[in-house]
């Protein structure tokens, strides 16, 4: 069996923008995900970071086939799942589960914890009612909840406990891949640590593979083996976590890293932030050439706004970056970043 659990190639999702009431013409498309390729190895954690609106969640939904991708292939265990019918997809749904962001909104308030966690078992007809109940109680125990709480409603639990219920629900059918979409961003720091530790323990115990989406670079670094940085629907950099955090190549990654809060007053005040000008451009009308050139401190007129960079291996160890002028070293100050390589500065 191959080492790659999931292979994603050229994944695109364009949402149509229509006008008119009866005859809805498509006037534009929101290019939420615009050609993302990567692989996830068995048993590893791939972290995905990027600002809100960069297409992280849409990508996750496309992989899960919760929404239909516009183009591209998704292979799970060597089998293409993008073209499968709903019926053929059903057995595969057991292999991929999702933990959602908001533990308050993602649990049905009118169902008891037992039926929330056991629902997938019922859908896939994995046992009798008594067996399912036993399995659910076992799952509650695994995620650190009291199995006696089987008959409680979600509102009786705190935010951290609810997220544990979300994790138990994802674990119920013994999936191979769990996609975590911002699982800790709604939680307090202390509770966040509990959930992160739980996810790590479960991965060791059950050999799980995670795609971990978050905007907090500290969290992603803690949990991931490899990290992918997304910007405006594109993957701009993909590398092992040590490589990415110590030797980033893309200016956007550099800017993100320079903004991470460090819990050390002296370091926090002495470091130089690379501030990006302006907002993320609209995905309806993305910039020509490199998507990042409108905000990039290193952008070369005539190159970056014309040629679209491809995600390609630039250094050893499978470090991939989509940039015409990657960083030579790190850390770099904002002035160095802008000054070096500029034709007029040279």
Binding residues for another protein, rule: CB under 8 A, are: 51-53, 158-161, 188-194, 196-197, 200, 215-219, 221-223, 245, 255-257, 259-269, 273, 275-276, 278-279
For 233, the 3-state DSSP assignment is coil
Taking the least distance from each CB to another protein, the nearer of 68 and 266 is 266
- Is 187 or 311 the residue whose CB approaches another protein more closely? 187
What is the spatial distance between Cα 223 and Cα 180, in angstroms, rounded to a whole number? 11
Nearer to another protein, 191 or 304 (CB): 191
Least distance CB 102 / another protein (angstroms): 12
Alpha carbons 43 and 48: distance in angstroms, whole number: 16
Query: CB-wise, 170 or 191, nearer to another protein?
Result: 191
Which residue, 128 or 270, is less far from another protein as judged by CB?
270
Q: Name the residue among 250, 241, 255, 253 with its Cα closest to residue 312.
A: 250
DSSP string, 49-87: E--TTSSHHHHHHHHTTSS--SEEEEEETTEE-TT--HH
Ramachandran assignment for 341, one of left (phi > 0), alpha (psi -120 to 50 degrees), beta (any other): left
Closest distance between another protein and the C-beta of residue 86, in Å?
A: 35
Q: Nearest distance from residue 278's CB to another protein, in Å? A: 6
Residue 267 neighbours by CB distance under 10 Å: 9
The minimum distance between CB 200 and another protein, in angstroms, equals: 7
In this structure, what DSSP letter does residue 212 have?
E
| CB of residue 297 to another protein, shortest distance in Å | 14
């Amino acid at each position: 069996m191959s080492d790659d659990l999931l292979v994603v190639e050229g994944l695109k999702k364009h949402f149509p923008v229509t006008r008119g009431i009866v005859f809805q013409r498509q006037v534009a498309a929101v290019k939420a995900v615009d050609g993302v390729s990567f692989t996830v190895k068995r048993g590893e954690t791939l972290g995905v970071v990027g600002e809100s609106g960069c297409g992280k969640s849409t990508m996750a939904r496309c992989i899960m086939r919760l929404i239909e991708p516009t183009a591209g292939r998704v292979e799970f265990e060597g089998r293409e799942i993008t073209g499968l019918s709903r019926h053929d997809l059903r057995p595969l749904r057991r292999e991929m589960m999702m933990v959602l962001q908001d533990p308050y909104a993602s649990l049905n308030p009118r169902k008891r914890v037992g039926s929330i966690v056991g629902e997938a078992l019922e859908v896939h007809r994995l046992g009798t009612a008594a067996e399912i109940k036993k399995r659910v109680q076992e799952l509650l125990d695994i995620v650190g909840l009291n199995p006696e709480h089987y008959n409680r409603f979600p509102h009786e639990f705190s935010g951290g406990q609810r997220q544990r219920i979300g994790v138990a629900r994802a674990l119920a059918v013994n999936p191979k891949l769990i996609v975590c979409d911002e699982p800790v961003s709604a939680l307090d720091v202390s509770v966040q640590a509990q959930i992160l530790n739980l996810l790590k323990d479960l991965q060791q115990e059950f050999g799980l593979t995670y795609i971990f989406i978050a905007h907090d670079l500290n969290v992603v670094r803690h949990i991931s083996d490899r990290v992918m940085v997304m910007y405006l629907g594109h993957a701009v950099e993909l590398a092992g976590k040590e490589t990415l955090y110590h030797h980033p190549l893309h200016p956007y990654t550099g800017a993100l890293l320079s903004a991470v809060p460090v819990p050390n007053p002296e370091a926090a005040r002495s470091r130089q932030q690379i501030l990006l000008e302006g907002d993320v451009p609209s995905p309806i009308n993305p910039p020509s050439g490199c998507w990042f050139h409108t905000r990039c401190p290193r952008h070369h007129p005539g190159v970056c706004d014309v040629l679209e960079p491809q995600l390609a291996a630039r250094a050893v160890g499978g470090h991939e970056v989509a940039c015409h002028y990657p960083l030579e070293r790190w850390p770099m100050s904002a002035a160095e970043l802008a000054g070096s390589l500029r034709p007029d500065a040279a």
